[in-house]
Structure 1
Amino acid sequence: MRIKVINGNTFEPMTRGIDESAQAARFPQTEIITTQPKAGPESIEGYYDEYLAIPGILEEILLSDDAIDAFVIACWGDPGVEAAREITAKPVIGIAEASMYVANMVAARWGVVTTMHRALDMIEKTIHRAGFSHRCVSIRTTGISVLETETARQQTIDALEAAGRLAITEDKAEALCLGCAGMSGLDKELEQRLGIPMIDAVSAAVKMAEAIVGLQKQNSKILTYRQPEPKRIKGYPDYMQFGQAEED
Structure 2
Amino acid sequence: MHIRVVNPNTTASMTAAIGRAAAAVAGPDTVVEAVTPTTGPASIESHYEEALAVPGLLEQIALGEQQGVDAYVVACFGDPGLDAARELAAGPVIGIAEAGFHAAAMLGRRFGVVTTLARTTGRAHELAERYGFASLVTEIRACEVPVLQLDDPTSGARELVVDECRAVLAGGADAVVLGCAGMAEFCAEVSREIGAPVVDGVAAATVLAESLVRLGLRTGKAGEYAPPPPKPVTGLLSGFTVPAAGSPVRASAPVLLAEVSA
Change (3 A) 1:40 1:59: same
Structure 1: 5+ residue runs without aligned partners? Answer: none
Over the matched positions of the two proteins, sequence identity in percent amounts to 38
- Note the C-alpha offset of 1:186: 1.1
Output the CA distance in 1 between the equivalents of 2:135 and 2:109. Answer: 11
Greater shift after overlay, 99-108 or 228-237? Answer: 228-237
Q: What's 1:97 paired with?
A: 98
Quote how far apart the aligned CAs of 1:123 are: 1.3
Does the 8 Å contact 1:7/1:73 carry over to 2? yes
After superposition, residues 118-197 of structure 1 pair within 5 angstroms as: 118-152=119-153, 155-169=156-170, 171-197=171-197
1:113 matched to 2:114? yes
CA distance in 2, matches of 1:153, 1:164: 20
Q: Is the 8 A contact 2:75 2:96 kept in 1?
A: yes
Number of aligned residue pairs: give it. 245
Unaligned residue ranges in structure 2 (runs of 5+): 251-262
1:158 deviates by 0.5
Amino acid at match of 1:61: I
Q: 8 Å contact 1:46–1:122 — kept in the other structure? A: no
Query: TM-score, normalising length from structure 1?
Result: 0.94
- Partners of 2:4 and 2:32 within 8 A in 1: yes
1:4 aligns with 2:4: yes
Instruction: Spell out, residue by residue over 1:187-230, the C-alpha distance to the aligned partner (whole angstroms, 9 max, x if none).
Output: 11111111110001111011001100011011111111111122
Instruction: Encode CA deviations 1:147-189: one digit per residue, 9 max, x unaligned.
Output: 01122476111111111111111x2011001110000121111
| Aligned Cα root-mean-square deviation (Å) | 1.7
Q: Which secondary structure state, in structure 2, belongs to the residue aligned with residue 219 of structure 1? A: coil
Is 1:70–1:213's contact at 8 Å kept on the other side of the alignment? yes
Supply the AA of the counterpart residue of 2:218: Q
1:37/1:60 contact within 8 Å kept: yes
1:207 corresponds to 2:207: yes
Question: The residue matched to 2:133 in structure 1 has which SS?
Answer: coil
TM-score with structure 2 length normalisation?
Answer: 0.89
Q: Which moves more between the two structures, 198-207 or 126-135?
A: 126-135
- Compare 186-195 and 95-104 and name the one that shifted more: 186-195
Q: Give the Å deviation of 1:93.
A: 0.6
1:74 alignment partner AA: A
Q: Secondary structure at the match of 2:146?
A: coil
The code of the aligned residue for 1:47 comes to H
1:44 alignment partner in structure 2: 44
